[in-house]
A and B are shown apart, each in its own frame.
Chain A
């Protein structure tokens, strides 16, 4: 699968960019040239040789704050995605096999969750559970899990009732074999896509919450927080919001791009895509002309 993703140029771009973000998350704070919490007298400076992105209203280096804040953003996004996956996908797959009652209850529960606005709920939950990103992410993860539930359930359903699974059963295959051989390859791509999309959502959620000042104690640096403080001083540095905004936007875009690529390379459409490419290369070598398929008369 990963090989196929890397065959497409968009896939290579998305993976490369996200690796950079991951790298920042791990090494960002260490890479920061200045102490992100250290204020100086050089407030609201424009980008210069010393402070590449300038300084904020307390004289703190913006670049360092952004680098240091990357950890929280990425961790938050990962948290949302993993929680949503566990809370959603497992019941989703099980609902196909565990009988009507289980299916009914989980479906209704999931329908309820879909109805709730997750951002507002997250804010409310932090009031209830304590002001922290993990609590907020837990809430958002649960609220976003219906996506995984439906995706996992739909993928499993399409496989479970299929004739090739019946044929495998008729040959005496065990459930484990059937899952490994037939179910896994069908369920993995949709879940991977949902995962990529959810991480994008998680990113936006973390940025939104920290923008509102929820979840982190100032003066800890976060992308949303930096954006918030930037907005307060637009007269002095009108370009300032661009940095964080661009960063958030491109990261989310990279996640969505990755999701698109997975969708394109998985399964039947993926084989068709590469078959075309491969035969195109072959025919260029052989200089053969290809006739398009004639519609059946």
Chain B
């Protein structure tokens, strides 16, 4: 922990400080109550009542395919619903404040400092003609009023925090020079740069190779522990959610068809869609081959040494 970090942490409370009285350890940082989203021009409702509570330091998972309403729900929580849609019912409380009462200016202040997100296609969230380090530094200069040199130093720290092996090198690179996994780390670095309390990860690993996926998920969970982040992880893959989340919501066509603790859902799903997802892994995925007690024999291999077998 550097001095800068401490300084940022103890900065005077900004507009988005939690409402008075909500400072118990298990406090709820985000409360979504029966949120409904619709297209006001056609009157068609696309999200039919999503509810969940995100507690500090916890991870909530949302499983859903495209068209299920998962991204719209995330966008509603961030206040960035596309103009075509509006929240037509329910309530969203971020750090104790009802977001429908927020002015655009207050929203702008909240975003990044209290709640932030990382999405699926990292390349499209970065300016292709600016080096990535500068883009992170820019966030710090604008939002935290850091000076150029401080911003650069902090950005380098963040790049190290997201476990990029050579932060100095990455700092100077353009987006097209980085792989998908590295780009996603850069975006995560930018996302945590303002020390938010809630991070939404919407299909962040979907376009990445499976080996890189695991690392990114690990990174998010580590950051959660180190920084006290609360996470919302969104994915179409139930296994990704199962590995990282305490609590799961399954969305289908805008409805929450399943909601509960992860283990409960996996062992006793109540909806057939959830069962479909579970069966898919059990019939076609690695779960089919794993015997219950098989740790993937790494310790056994240690003894043999790692020979390459062609």
The total of chain A residues at the interface (CB under 8 A) is 6
Interface string of B227-254 (1 = CB under 8 A from A): 0000000000000000000000000001
Q: Say whether A296 faces chain B, with CB atoms less than 8 Å apart.
A: yes
B82 touching A297, Cβ below 8 Å = no
A291 touching B71, Cβ below 8 Å = no
A297 touching B42, Cβ below 8 Å = no
What is the CB-to-nearest-CB distance from B28 to chain A, in angstroms, rounded to a whole number? 24
A294 touching B44, Cβ below 8 Å = yes
* B64 closest partner in A (C-beta): A297
A297 touching B44, Cβ below 8 Å = no
B66 touching A297, Cβ below 8 Å = yes
Complex Cα gap A296–B236 (Å): 14
A292 touching B68, Cβ below 8 Å = no
Q: Is the interface of A mostly helix, strand, loop or mixed?
A: loop
What is the CB-to-nearest-CB distance from A249 to chain B, in angstroms, rounded to a whole number? 41
Q: Say whether B72 faces chain A, with CB atoms less than 8 Å apart.
A: yes
Q: Say whether B126 faces chain A, with CB atoms less than 8 Å apart.
A: no
Q: Say whether A167 faces chain B, with CB atoms less than 8 Å apart.
A: no
B82 touching A296, Cβ below 8 Å = no
Interface string of A175-219 (1 = CB under 8 A from B): 000000000000000000000000000000000000000000000
Complex Cα gap A297–B38 (Å): 11
What is the CB-to-nearest-CB distance from B14 to chain A, in angstroms, rounded to a whole number? 31
Complex Cα gap A155–B35 (Å): 48
B84 touching A297, Cβ below 8 Å = no
Interface residue from B64, B67, B73 paired with A294 (Cβ < 8 Å): B67
A291-B42, A291-B44 are contacts. A296–B66 as well, Cβ < 8 Å? Answer: yes
Contacts of A295 in B (CB 8 A): 82, 84-85
* B37 closest partner in A (C-beta): A297
Contacts of B39 in A (CB 8 A): 292, 294
* B66 closest partner in A (C-beta): A296
Q: Say whether B139 faces chain A, with CB atoms less than 8 Å apart.
A: no
Contacts of B66 in A (CB 8 A): 296-297
B42 touching A292, Cβ below 8 Å = yes
Q: Which residues of B from 33 to 54 have beta carbons under 8 Å from A?
A: 39, 42, 44, 46-47
What is the CB-to-nearest-CB distance from B81 to chain A, in angstroms, rounded to a whole number? 11
Complex Cα gap A292–B82 (Å): 16
Contacts of A291 in B (CB 8 A): 42, 44
Residues of B within 8 A of A (CB): 39, 42, 44, 46-47, 64, 66-73, 82, 84-85, 254
Give 10 A-B contacts (CB < 8 Å), ordered by A residue: A291-B42, A291-B44, A292-B39, A294-B39, A295-B84, A295-B85, A296-B66, A296-B71, A297-B68, A297-B71
Residues of A within 8 A of B (CB): 291-292, 294-297
Besides the known contacts A294-B39, A297-B47, A297-B69, 10 further A-B residue pairs in the complex with CB atoms under 8 A apart: A291-B42, A292-B39, A292-B42, A294-B46, A294-B67, A295-B84, A296-B66, A296-B67, A297-B72, A297-B254
